[in-house]
């Protein structure tokens, strides 16, 4: 089966299909609607063959449907007919869940996506547990207000890194994962990684999207030892 994976973010929409080595992308932003995304994705995918579609959606998803409009995009996402617009069967999951699935190696893994906002997913022995931690109360605002992209721009890297370390420590204490994967585009701005953490990669969303259509959704057959942490490059 050939699968088209669409990773919808607050700044860009990125796509890749089975057998393709290079992603294609377009700008998104605060006014992008679901219809604009679907039209743009079909245009980007010209020349690619696909039988099914996986969408990583930046918001909560229940039973294959978005249940809230995205925080960093436009309107019209909840009731949109994705299968009709894209011309193929569609599976939709939270974007952090899709990237988490692509980086999963076994056991209990907490994924935190440091991008435009804060994505979060827990995977326990292959079972995906999407979460919406970004807008929970933290200090004088929310987690996202301290570790999202606006916080990085407002506070600078040094202060932002301290907030990330504190947020990770609190969530590790709450969920007790075997490891933490820090993904999202801003994870590259970390100088040192918290204990039991490793860097993810935005490109992990694509293998995650392909896995959604596999017979066995996630690697449930073996519990592999988490990869050793690697130090992030300071910038």
Q: How many angstroms separate the Cα of 194 from the Cα of each of 96, 125, 147, 164, 179?
A: 19, 22, 14, 9, 10
pLDDT at 174 over 70: yes
Give the pLDDT of residue 72.
Answer: 85
Torsion 110-2-69-32 (CA) sign: positive
pLDDT of 29-72, one tens digit each?
999 999 999 999 999 999 999 999 999 999 899 999 999 999 88
The token pair that represents 146 in the structure block:
């301290």
Give the pLDDT of residue 21.
Answer: 93
Beta-ladder partners of 199: 182
pLDDT of 68-126, one tens digit each?
999 889 999 999 999 999 999 999 999 999 999 999 999 999 999 998 889 999 999 99
pLDDT at 215 over 50: no
Domains and CATH numbers, the chain: 3-96 (3.30.420.40), 106-204 (3.30.420.40)
């Amino acid at each position: 089966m050939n699968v088209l994976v669409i990773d919808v973010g607050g700044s860009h929409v990125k796509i890749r299909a089975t057998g393709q080595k290079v992603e294609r992308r377009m700008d998104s932003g605060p006014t992008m609607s679901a219809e604009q995304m679907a039209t743009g994705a079909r245009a980007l995918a010209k020349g690619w063959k696909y039988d099914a579609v996986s969408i990583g959606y930046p918001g909560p998803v229940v039973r294959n449907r978005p249940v809230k409009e995205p925080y960093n995009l436009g309107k019209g996402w909840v009731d949109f007919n994705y299968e009709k617009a894209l011309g193929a069967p569609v599976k939709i999951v939270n974007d952090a869940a899709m990237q988490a699935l692509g980086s999963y190696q076994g056991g209990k893994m907490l994924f935190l996506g440091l991008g435009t906002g804060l994505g979060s997913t827990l995977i326990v022995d292959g079972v995906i547990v999407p979460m919406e931690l970004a807008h929970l109360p933290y200090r004088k605002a929310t987690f996202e207000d301290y570790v999202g992209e606006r916080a990085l721009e407002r506070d600078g890297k040094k202060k932002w890194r301290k907030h990330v370390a504190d947020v990770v420590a609190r969530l590790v204490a709450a969920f007790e994962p075997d490891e933490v994967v820090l993904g999202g585009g801003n994870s590259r701005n970390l100088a040192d990684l918290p204990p039991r953490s490793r860097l993810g990669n935005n490109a992990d969303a694509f293998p995650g999207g392909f896995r959604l259509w596999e017979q066995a959704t996630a690697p449930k057959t073996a519990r592999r030892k988490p990869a050793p942490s690697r130090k992030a490059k300071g910038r």
